[in-house]
Amino acid sequence: MQQDKPPVFLVDGVSNIAIHNGVARMQFMRLEVDGKAVPSHEVWVPLPAMKSILEALRKVPSA
């Protein structure tokens, strides 16, 4: 029996970050073929979890 895999998203950037009621709401965007930026996905993260997420992202090697 194969388990369902979580969805995978490819994004080209962050278009907006807002904080409301202790939750960071991050809006990601992707680039269309013509180069136009369009909204892609939104991720909501409770502020107490942001520190560990940011620390993990800092460990990603730069290109």
pLDDT digits (tens, 9 = 90+) for 18-45: 999 999 999 999 999 999 999 999 999 9
Q: Is residue 3 part of a domain?
A: no
Q: Is residue 6 part of a domain?
A: no
Q: Is residue 28 part of a domain?
A: yes
The mean pLDDT value for 32-61 works out to 94
**What are the phi and psi torsion angles at 33 (to 5°)?**
-60, -35
DSSP structural state of residue 52: H
Closest CA to 39 of 59, 14, 22: 14
Q: Is residue 33 part of a domain?
A: yes
With a pLDDT cut of 70, the percent of the chain lying above it is 95
Q: Is residue 1 part of a domain?
A: no
**Domain range enclosing 43:** 13-58
Q: How far is CA 49 from CA 23, 38, 39, 44, 61, in A?
A: 9, 27, 24, 10, 22
Q: Is residue 25 part of a domain?
A: yes
pTM, 2 dp: 0.76
Total structural domains in the chain? 1
In angstroms, rounded to a whole number, what is the distance separating the alpha carbons of residues 62 and 38?
25
